[in-house]
A and B are shown apart, each in its own frame.
Chain A
Amino acid sequence: MAATVPFVRPAAKTRRPAEQSSFPDRGIRPASWWLYLVPGLALLTVIIVVPLVWNVYLSFTSYRGIRPPEFIGLENWIELVGDARFWASFGNTIAMIVAMVIIPTSVGLLVAAALFDIIGRRFGGRLASFLRATYYLPQILPVAIAGIVIGWILRPQNGALNTILQSIGLGDLATNWLGHPDTALPSVMAVLVWVQIGYPIVIFMAALQRVDPELYEAAELDGAGWFRRFRAITLGMIRPEIFVVTLTCTIAALKVFGPIFVLTRGGPGSSTLVPAYYAYSEFFQSQQVGYGATIATALTIVVGIVAIVFIRAQAAVERADRGDS
C-alpha cells in the first residue's frame, strides 16, 4: 500500500536554459505545449481541485446530505478542538506510525543489511532474493484483504491464534483480540507491521546495490565488525532511501482506512478509531457531512505539513552534504 505513494523528490535538474523546450520546432510555430496539458489539468481540476475546495467549504457548514449546506462559520472547527474522539483518533495515528514507519523501517534496515551484507555474501544471492520476496509477500495484498487474513486468525471463538494458544497450554492468554479495548489496537498494529515490513526491505536492498561489495570486504579486513559496517557503510549509503521510506510510510499511516474498516470499525469504543475512518463514518453513517468534512480537512492539513517538513529536512541535509564535500 505504501507503494502507492509517490516518492517525493524534486524532478531531475538538467542544465538546459529554463524556458527552452528540448524540442526542435521548425517552420510555422506549432500550437502551444499547453494543449497537451489540457486533458490532464481539466481532469485534475474536476476530480481533485474542485472537490478539495468544496470539502473545505463544507467544513464551515452544517450539512446532513439532504437540505443544502448551511454556513455556520467556525462551529465545526470549535467542536473538533474539544472532541475527545477526534483526539483519540489522532492518538491512534501515532500507533499507526509506530506500526507502519518506526518498526518496519528499523527492522527493515537490519533485515536488509543482514540479507545484503551477510546472507547474500556468505550463503548466496539466491537465498537472499528468496527471503526478500517472502518478506515482501504481504505488501502485494490489497490492505483490506490483509486485514481479513489476520482477522481470520484472530477470530474470538475458534480463531487459529486462540486455538493454538489453548493447545500449547496457554489458554489463559486466549482472548477476543479485536473486541477487547486493550488488545484491539496492538492487533491492528500487528496487521500493519506484517503488511509493511517488506517495503523498506525491498527499497533498502535496491539502494544497497549501489554499494561496492568490496567496500564491505575491505572494511571487514580492516577489522570492522558487523555493527560498524552497518553504521558506516549501510546507513550512510542509503540515507536518501530512508528519507523516502519514512515520508511515504508516514503519509500512508496517516491515511489508514481499509484494515480498520474490515477489522474493528474503530472500536471497541474509540480504541482503534483513526481520522480516515472517523471522517468516513461521519459522512455515511451519522450523516454529519459538515463535521466529517472538518475531520477530513484537518487530516489533509496534517498530511501537508508532514510532507513539507520532510521535504525541507531532506533538502537541508542534502545541502549540508554538498557543503561538506
Chain B
Amino acid sequence: MSAPRRRRGPGVADWIVLVAVVIGAILIAFPFALVLINSFKSPQDYATSGPLSLPTGLYLDGIVAFWERVDFPEKLWNSFWISGVTAILAVLISVLNAFAIGIGRVRGRTWVILAFLLANLLPQEALLYPLYQMFREVGLYNNPWSVVIIFTVIQSAFGTYLLSSVYGTFPKEILEAAALDGASRWRTLWRVIVPISRPTLAVLVIFFFIWTWNEFLIPLTFLIDNANQTVPVAISVLQGDRLMDVTTTSASALLGVIPTLIFFLIFQRTLTRGITAGAVK
C-alpha cells in the first residue's frame, strides 16, 4: 500500500452538505421539541405567547389531567405486559421452529419458511374479521390474551425466518460434541444451542417487544374496554375529544412518545445494528 495520505480538512462544499443535513435533522426533531415545550404550558400561556416560546411557568395540569383521565400507569402496564409476554412466547416458538428447520433441516423446509414469511407480510385486515369472530366464540374477545396470541404468531413468523438461517450455519462440531456426551436433541437445544445463540435471541426479544408495543389495528379492534387498552390505543381514541384543550392534547402526544423514547435510549445500539440483521447477510 502507499504511504498514509494526509486527510484534507473540510472544504466549502463539505460545509454546505453539512449545513443541509443538519437543517434536515432540525426539521425532523422540531415536532418533538414543539410537543415537549407546549405540554408544560397552560392553554392561556399558549394562546398569548404561541407555540414557539418556552413556557412562562412550569404548568403540569395538562399532563396530570391526561395522566389521570386515561389512567396512564394502567395503560403502561397493559402495553408492558402484552408486549413482554408476546416477545417471550414468540421467541420460544421461533426457537422451536428454527431448530427443526435450520438444524433438523426437515423435508420441504423452504415451503415452511415461505409460509411463515407470507404470514408476516399479510395485511392484518385480511385476518381481522375472522379473528374477531373466532375470539368472540371462545370468549377471549376484549381480553389481552387475544392480542398476545395473535402477535405471538405474527412475530414468531419473522423470528422463524431469521433464526432458521442463523441456525442453518450453526457449527456442526458443537452439535457433535453434545451428541458424544449423550445429550438428546431436546437437551442439546436448551443446554447448548439456546445459550450459544443468546445474543441473537436477545435482539429478537427486544424487537418483538417494541414492535408489539407499537401495534395499532389489532389492539384497537380487540381491546374495547378502557381498562384493557394499550398506550397507543388509549391515546388515539381520546383525540378530538372536546374536553381536550390544546396543551392537554400536546401532553397526550408527549406521553405517547416518552416510553418509546426510553426504549430507544436503552436499546439504541441494538436497534440501529439489529435492524440490519436480516438485511445484510
* 25 A-B residue pairs with CB within 8 Å: A6-B120, A23-B104, A23-B175, A23-B185, A25-B185, A43-B93, A43-B149, A52-B122, A55-B129, A114-B20, A118-B17, A133-B268, A134-B28, A140-B210, A142-B216, A145-B253, A149-B31, A152-B35, A153-B34, A160-B34, A203-B275, A206-B279, A206-B280, A221-B5, A255-B124
Chain A nearest Cβ from B169, distance in angstroms: 6
Q: Which residues of B sit under 8 angstroms from A115, Cβ to Cβ?
A: 21
Q: Which residues of B sit under 8 angstroms from A24, Cβ to Cβ?
A: 172, 175-176, 179
B235 at interface, CB cutoff 8 A: yes
Are A142 and B105 touching (Cβ within 8 A)? Answer: no
Q: Which residues of A sit under 8 angstroms from B280, Cβ to Cβ?
A: 206-207, 210, 241
| Of A158, A276, A283, the contact of B123 (CB 8 Å cutoff) | A276
Are A111 and B24 touching (Cβ within 8 A)? Answer: yes
Chain A nearest Cβ from B215, distance in angstroms: 8
B273 at interface, CB cutoff 8 A: yes
What string of 1s and 0s marks CB contacts (under 8 Å) between B17-32 and chain A?
Answer: 1101110110011011
A138 vs B104: C-alpha distance in the bound complex, in angstroms? 40
Are B217 and A258 touching (Cβ within 8 A)? Answer: yes
A280 vs B222: C-alpha distance in the bound complex, in angstroms? 13
Q: Which residues of A sit under 8 angstroms from B210, Cβ to Cβ?
A: 140
Q: Which residues of B sit under 8 angstroms from A99, Cβ to Cβ?
A: none
Are A7 and B236 touching (Cβ within 8 A)? Answer: no
* Chain A to chain B: the 5 pairs with minimum beta-carbon distance, closest first: A33-B104, A51-B130, A145-B256, A160-B51, A7-B278
Chain A nearest Cβ from B254, distance in angstroms: 9
Q: Which of B70-78, B94-102, B194-202 contacts A (4 or more CB under 8 A)?
A: B94-102
Are A30 and B47 touching (Cβ within 8 A)? Answer: no
Q: Which residue of B lies closest to A53 (CB)?
A: B130
Q: Which residues of A sit under 8 angstroms from B143, Cβ to Cβ?
A: none
Are A194 and B31 touching (Cβ within 8 A)? Answer: yes
Q: Which residues of B sit under 8 angstroms from A297, Cβ to Cβ?
A: 126
A261 vs B274: C-alpha distance in the bound complex, in angstroms? 30
Q: Which residues of B sit under 8 angstroms from A325, Cβ to Cβ?
A: none
A40 vs B157: C-alpha distance in the bound complex, in angstroms? 9
Q: A34-B100, A132-B272 are in contact. List 5 more A-B contacts (CB 8 A).
A: A11-B164, A119-B21, A140-B263, A206-B273, A210-B280
* Interface positions of A from 284 to 298, Cβ below 8 Å from B: 284, 289, 292-293, 295-297
Q: Which residues of B sit under 8 angstroms from A254, Cβ to Cβ?
A: 123
A140 vs B172: C-alpha distance in the bound complex, in angstroms? 38
| Of B25, B31, B52, B103, the contact of A135 (CB 8 Å cutoff) | B25
Are B276 and A203 touching (Cβ within 8 A)? Answer: yes
Q: Which residues of B sit under 8 angstroms from A103, Cβ to Cβ?
A: none
Are A226 and B13 touching (Cβ within 8 A)? Answer: yes
A114 vs B51: C-alpha distance in the bound complex, in angstroms? 32
A107 vs B256: C-alpha distance in the bound complex, in angstroms? 27
Are A40 and B179 touching (Cβ within 8 A)? Answer: no
What string of 1s and 0s marks CB contacts (under 8 Å) between B145-184 and chain A?
Answer: 0000110111011101110110011101001100100101
A226 vs B196: C-alpha distance in the bound complex, in angstroms? 44
Chain A interface size range = 35 or more
Chain B interface size range = 35 or more
A24 vs B28: C-alpha distance in the bound complex, in angstroms? 54
What string of 1s and 0s marks CB contacts (under 8 Å) between A195-239 and chain B?
Answer: 001110011001100100000010001000010000000000000
Q: Which residues of B sit under 8 angstroms from A30, Cβ to Cβ?
A: 184-185
| Of A11, A137, A296, the contact of B28 (CB 8 Å cutoff) | A137
B141 at interface, CB cutoff 8 A: no
| Of A12, A151, A276, the contact of B239 (CB 8 Å cutoff) | A151
On B, residues with C-beta under 8 Å from A are 5, 7, 9-10, 13-14, 17-18, 20-22, 24-25, 28-29, 31-32, 34-35, 38, 46-47, 50-52, 93-94, 96-97, 99-101, 103-107, 110, 112-113, 115-134, 149-150, 152-154, 156-158, 160-162, 164-165, 168-170, 172, 175-176, 179, 182, 184-185, 188, 207, 210-211, 213-217, 220-221, 231-233, 235-236, 239, 246, 249-250, 252-253, 256-257, 260-261, 263-264, 268, 271-273, 275-276, 278-281
| Of A4, A43, A52, A135, the contact of B214 (CB 8 Å cutoff) | A4
Q: Which residues of A sit under 8 angstroms from B104, Cβ to Cβ?
A: 21, 23, 33, 36
Are A19 and B107 touching (Cβ within 8 A)? Answer: yes
| Of B7, B22, B261, the contact of A121 (CB 8 Å cutoff) | B7
Are A148 and B24 touching (Cβ within 8 A)? Answer: no
Q: Which residues of B sit under 8 angstroms from A150, Cβ to Cβ?
A: 31
Are B261 and A140 touching (Cβ within 8 A)? Answer: yes
Q: Which residue of B lies closest to A162 (CB)?
A: B51
A97 at interface, CB cutoff 8 A: no
A303 vs B276: C-alpha distance in the bound complex, in angstroms? 22
Are B235 and A145 touching (Cβ within 8 A)? Answer: yes
A108 vs B120: C-alpha distance in the bound complex, in angstroms? 25
Are B97 and A37 touching (Cβ within 8 A)? Answer: yes
A12 and B257 contact, Cβ closer than 8 Å, known pairs A40-B160, A143-B216? no
A80 vs B211: C-alpha distance in the bound complex, in angstroms? 33
Are B24 and A202 touching (Cβ within 8 A)? Answer: no
* Interface positions of A from 17 to 44, Cβ below 8 Å from B: 18-26, 30, 33-37, 39-41, 43-44
Chain B nearest Cβ from A10, distance in angstroms: 8
Q: Which residue of A lies closest to B251 (CB)?
A: A152
Q: Which residues of A sit under 8 angstroms from B261, Cβ to Cβ?
A: 140
Are B158 and A9 touching (Cβ within 8 A)? Answer: no
Q: Which residue of B lies closest to A155 (CB)?
A: B246
A217 and B221 contact, Cβ closer than 8 Å, known pairs A145-B257, A261-B236? no
